[in-house]
């Protein structure tokens, strides 16, 4: 028995209407697969905003403070060099590397966090087994919904609803490994 259903739509507006209807029916755990980021689907799914920026801020702050600390350690503490009587601790001269390392760490965090939160870096996923799913990166829009949760209508009714809402095909989706 399938753990979930996945339905194909030819259009993002139809998918968004389906999401709204399924929400009315009390179905939760919806996810869409689209060839590009689309506002109507995003609004319909009403997912909370991504909090990735907090991780990026933390990454950037770590990089910048570590760089500044290292600069201070190297040229102000471990090997102070007197050049023209200037202070070994010279914040202005430490700014460029501090800035660059802040950007480097923040950008790396953004990249890694996008992969982790988007559940990427995997060679296989159950949706790849669905017939026609290769069109999800080309021109069709797919809606996946979990079955078996409390208050979710029976599978047959959901299939009928999806077809009525304009799905061109409805397939089973098994969350197990191949």
Partner 1 sequence: MTASAREADAALTDQLVATVWSGSRYFKLGFLLLGAGSLGFAALIAYTFEVGIGLWGNNIPVAWAFAIVNFVFWIGIGHAGTFISAILYLLEQRWRATVNRFSEAMTLFAVAQALLFPVLHLGRPWFAYWLLPYPARMHVWPQVKSPLPWDFAAIFTYGTVSLLFFYLGLLPDLASTRDRAPERWRRRIYGIFALGWRGSEDAWRHYRLAYLLLAGLATPLVISVHSIVSADFAVGLTPGWHSTIFPPFFVAGAIFSGFAMVLSLIIPARKVFRLENVITPRHVDACAKLLLVTGLCVAYGYAIEFFVAWYSGDEFEIEQFFVTRPTGPNSWAFYLMLCCNVVVPQLLWSRRLRTNLKLLWLLSLLINVGMWCERFVIVVLGLEREYLRADQAAYTPSWVDLGLLSGSVCFFLFLFLGFLRFLPIVALSEVKETRRHLARARAEGAAAGG
Q: Quick one: tokens of 38?
A: 């689309």
Q: What share of the chain is helix, strand, coil (3-state, %, to 5)?
A: 50, 10, 35
- Closer of 1 and 83 to partner 1 (Cβ): 83
Residue 45 near partner 1 by CB under 8 A: yes
Residue 8 near partner 1 by CB under 8 A: no
Cβ 34 to partner 1 shortest distance, Å: 5
Query: DSSP letter string over 62-115?
Result: HHHHHHHHHHIIIIIIIS---STT--S--HHHHHHHHHHHHHHHHHHHHHHHHH
- Closer of 136 and 147 to partner 1 (Cβ): 136
Show the site string, 146-165: x = touches partner 1 by CB under 8 A, - = not.
--------------------
Show the site string, 116-145: x = touches partner 1 by CB under 8 A, - = not.
-xxxxxxxxx-xx-----xxxxxxx-----
- Among residues 56, 63, 21, which one has the least CA distance to residue 161? 21
Residue 97 near partner 1 by CB under 8 A: yes
Q: How many CB atoms lie within 10 A of CB 95?
A: 14
Q: How many CB atoms lie within 10 A of CB 10?
A: 14
- Among residues 12, 48, 52, 50, which one has the least CA distance to residue 32? 12
Residues within window 66-95 making contact with partner 1, judged by CB under 8 A: 67, 70-71, 74-75, 78-79, 81, 83, 86, 90, 93-94
Residue ranges in contact with partner 1 by CB under 8 A? 10-13, 31-38, 41-42, 45, 47, 49-50, 52-53, 56, 60, 67, 70-71, 74-75, 78-79, 81, 83, 86, 90, 93-94, 96-97, 99-101, 103-104, 106-108, 110-111, 113-115, 117-125, 127-128, 134-140
């Amino acid at each position: 028995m399938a753990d979930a259903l996945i339905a194909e739509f030819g259009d993002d507006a139809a998918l968004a209407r389906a999401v709204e209807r399924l929400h009315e029916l009390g179905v939760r755990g919806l996810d869409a697969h689209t060839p590009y980021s689309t506002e109507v689907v995003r609004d319909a799914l009403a997912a909370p905003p991504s909090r990735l920026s907090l991780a990026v801020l933390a990454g950037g702050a770590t990089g910048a403070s570590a760089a500044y600390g290292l600069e201070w350690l190297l040229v102000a503490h471990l090997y102070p060099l007197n050049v023209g009587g200037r202070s070994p601790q010279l914040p202005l001269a430490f700014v460029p590397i501090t800035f660059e390392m802040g950007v480097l760490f923040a950008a790396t965090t953004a990249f890694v966090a996008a992969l982790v939160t988007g559940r990427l870096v995997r060679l296989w996923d159950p949706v790849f087994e669905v017939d026609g799913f290769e069109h999800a990166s080309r021109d069709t829009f797919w809606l996946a919904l979990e079955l078996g949760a409390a208050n979710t209508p029976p599978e047959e009714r959901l299939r009928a609803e999806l077809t009525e809402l304009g799905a061109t095909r409805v397939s089973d989706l098994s969350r197990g490994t191949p």
